[in-house]
């Protein structure tokens, strides 16, 4: 955890007067000028005068002793959240130049908490992709000469946080679109329980799966943003009337589940070694580590790629050049591919064989998680098959067909079940995933924070088994 990139540390410095909002925004602007030309993380950047004006307003609040929770903190917003002061294109030519008359609820919540939105983040077109290469603005890539992709579809948000363009960002997670970029970029990515954060103003990909997620440099910052964003919203009928509690309350003895189906043949040995090291560390810290069975893990991927495209085909029908969008523009290849798949799955001749069957499999995934969580408090597993993201060239010229879709195999099950999940960078930068029961963000965040501490302090976190009590 970098103190220089910690919202909580920066907020403390701002309160003490050791740092000014102007300096914080200037630092973000420097990072944008240094990294954005090569990384392509932000596709729309707020004007410098506007950002410095908001920093001046934040400074006045600190002087008057009335700062809000995120006062003066620079954040990035994925380009599928509507904003009233910047275009919203969903990385698609179809929506080029579109400006919304209002802010999405999540954006409004951030602004009401004092956050300063520095820009809109790159993404796969309409959220469809695992590498952030399906964008009309071009691919988002990580800094460095290797040209590794950021992961998708919230790749721009992840790179913005990784490079210091923003101290946190929001993205959308439909089948892993927050968690996969977090794993590849070495930051924290939180997908809360479905329904805990309002989707109002989030341009939909698949309504029953889309979840507002958070990307940050550490678990505490992710938890802070989650607490700010998770509240009822009458504009979203799927938003919970009361948010799940994030009060720290670990039960002991803690039991960590290990899904055997995630130990796949294709798993990178470096990922497997890091996963094993984490489980050993949890045992050393006093937790019980037990195997759990999730037999529908692999079939779940196929179900997802029927259900999500089916919902996308319905959602994107409005972009006909009359109601929305520009008639002379076309969707990108990946969007067209998924719309065609979804349309076929919903057709009269295929509906029962594909769509209905996929819904039954989704129910099976939910049941398997419920059965497993009757015996464990949380699960710890890999977030991606590989320790590193592929290069842009490897994505453009894959060794095998369909490799992009297989990338989501560890993230899709939690999405189908609507469960909270958070990715934490572990040893050697390998991203590990913590899964929890629906609505139990507290447990997921606590276990993730514990893992984070173990990585920073050593295998046992510097405490014995009684250390769980400190949370």
The residues assigned a catalytic role are: 78, 153, 177
Beta bridge partners of 190: 214, 422
Q: For residue 306, what are its two tokens?
A: 């029927």
Q: Residue 136, Cβ neighbours under 10 Å: how many?
A: 18
Asked if residue 4 has a cis previous peptide bond (ω within 30° of 0), the answer is no
For 172, 348, 355, 413, the CA distances from 352, given in Å and listed in that order, are 29, 8, 6, 22
Taking Cα atoms as reference points, which of 284, 101, 310, 58 lies closest to residue 205?
310
């Amino acid at each position: 955890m970098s103190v220089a990139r910690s919202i909580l540390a920066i907020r403390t410095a701002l309160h003490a007067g050791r740092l000014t909002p102007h300096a914080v925004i200037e630092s973000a602007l420097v990072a944008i000028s240094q990294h954005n030309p090569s990384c392509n993380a932000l596709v729309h950047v707020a004007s410098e005068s506007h950002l410095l004006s908001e920093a001046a307003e934040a400074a006045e609040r600190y002087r008057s002793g009335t700062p809000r929770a995120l006062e003066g903190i620079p954040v990035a917003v994925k380009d599928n959240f509507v904003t009233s002061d910047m275009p919203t294109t969903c990385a698609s030519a179809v929506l080029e130049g579109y400006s919304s008359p209002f802010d999405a609820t999540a954006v409004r919540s951030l602004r009401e908490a004092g956050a300063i939105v520095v820009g809109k983040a790159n993404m796969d077109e309409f959220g469809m992709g695992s590498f952030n290469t399906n964008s009309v603005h071009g691919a988002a890539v990580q800094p460095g000469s290797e040209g590794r992709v950021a992961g998708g579809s919230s790749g721009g948000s992840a790179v913005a946080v990784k490079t210091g363009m923003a101290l946190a960002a929001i993205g959308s997670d439909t089948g892993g679109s927050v968690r996969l970029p977090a794993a590849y970029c070495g930051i924290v990515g939180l997908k809360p329980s479905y329904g805990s954060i309002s989707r109002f103003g989030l341009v939909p990909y698949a309504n029953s799966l889309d979840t507002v997620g958070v990307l940050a440099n550490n678990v505490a910052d992710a938890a802070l943003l989650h607490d700010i964003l998770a509240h009822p919203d009458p504009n979203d009928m799927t938003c919970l009337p009361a948010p799940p509690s994030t009060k720290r309350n670990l039960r002991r003895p803690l039991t960590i589940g290990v899904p055997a189906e995630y130990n796949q043949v294709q798993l990178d040995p470096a990922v497997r070694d890091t996963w094993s090291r984490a489980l050993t560390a949890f045992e050393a810290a006093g937790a019980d580590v037990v195997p759990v069975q999730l037999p529908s893990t692999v079939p779940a991927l196929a179900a997802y790629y029927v259900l999500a495209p089916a919902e996308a085909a319905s959602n994107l029908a409005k972009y006909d050049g009359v109601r929305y969008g520009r008639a002379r523009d076309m969707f990108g290849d990946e969007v067209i591919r998924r719309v065609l798949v979804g349309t076929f799955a919903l057709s009269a001749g295929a509906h029962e064989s594909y769509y209905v069957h996929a819904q039954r499999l989704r129910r099976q995934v939910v049941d398997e998680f419920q059965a497993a969580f009757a015996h464990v408090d949380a699960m710890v597993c890999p977030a991606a098959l590989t320790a590193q993201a592929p290069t842009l060239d490897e994505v453009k010229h894959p060794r095998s067909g369909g490799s992009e879709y297989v990338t989501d195999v560890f993230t899709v099950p939690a999405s189908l079940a609507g469960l909270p999940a958070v990715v934490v960078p572990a040893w050697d930068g390998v991203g590990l995933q913590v899964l929890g029961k629906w609505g139990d963000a507290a447990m997921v965040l606590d276990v993730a924070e514990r893992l984070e501490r173990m990585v920073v302090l050593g295998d046992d976190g510097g405490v014995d088994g009684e250390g769980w009590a400190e949370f």
